[in-house]
Structures are given as C-alpha cells and as structure tokens.
Amino acid sequence: MAKQPRRGHPAVLLSITIAAIVVVQDWRRIHMHSAVGLAAATLLGTPIGLLLITSNHERIVKGVPAAIIMAFSAWFLLGRTPIRLEHDSRPVLLTCGFLAGRLGGA
C-alpha cells in the first residue's frame, strides 16, 4: 500500500499569516539590511535542518529546539529582560539566521 503524501500543518499557515500581518503593520520599522542578511542565512540553514530531521539522530534534532524553548521560557519566567543589540553585528545576525533556518527546517 502506497504511503499517503504528508499534508501541511495548519500551524505553518497560521504562522505565515501572522508574520504577514506583522510585516504589513510594522513595515516602516524593518531594517532591510538586517532582514536580508537574516533571510539569506535562514535559507542556508533550512536544508540542513531538513537533512538532520531525516537522519538517524531524530531525538537530538527534536531535543535541541525543545531545550532552547525551555531555556527561553525559563529566562522570562525568572523576570529577565530581553537582550537588545544596539548595533547590528554581522556574526550574530548570520548565526541567528542560520540557526533559525536550521531549527525551522527541523
């Protein structure tokens, strides 16, 4: 029996819709130079995330995003303020974009 093709998850559609609404509302506040760098790095990280999720290391690939989410949640539950960069840092920008693509792909 042939496998049924996987259909998209409604959460993905909701996420894209929310992102589009935010961009439309706040387009004047977007730093295009930074956004292009983030998008380019994300596009590079996404295929790696997809490859990792199909590898034999599925538990690690799923565990890393879970650990990041738990650490992020604990940070804010402890009353910490978000880290704010005053100036663009190319290495931080590319690293964050790449990790976003890698985690998003996984």
DSSP secondary structure of 13-75: HHHHHHHHHHHHHHGGG--HHHHHHHHHHHHHHHHHHHHHHTSS-HHHHHHHHHHHHHHHHHH
| Range of the structural domain that residue 68 is part of | 31-105
| 51 vs 4 pLDDT, higher one | 51
Phi then psi for 71, rounded to 5 degrees?
-65, -40
- Residue 89: the pLDDT is 81
Whether 70 maps to a domain, the answer reads yes
Per-residue pLDDT tens for 27-81?
Answer: 888 888 888 888 888 888 888 878 877 877 778 877 888 898 899 899 889 987 8
Which amino acid is residue 18, in one-letter code?
I
CA distance 16 to 37: 19
Residue 78 lies in a domain: yes
| Domains contained in the chain, number | 1
Is position 51 within any domain?
yes
The per-residue pLDDT for 61 is 77
Domain-embedded: residue 1: no
Q: Global pTM?
A: 0.59
In a domain, 13, yes or no: no
Query: Does residue 17 fall inside a structural domain?
Result: no
* Residue 3 placed within a domain: no
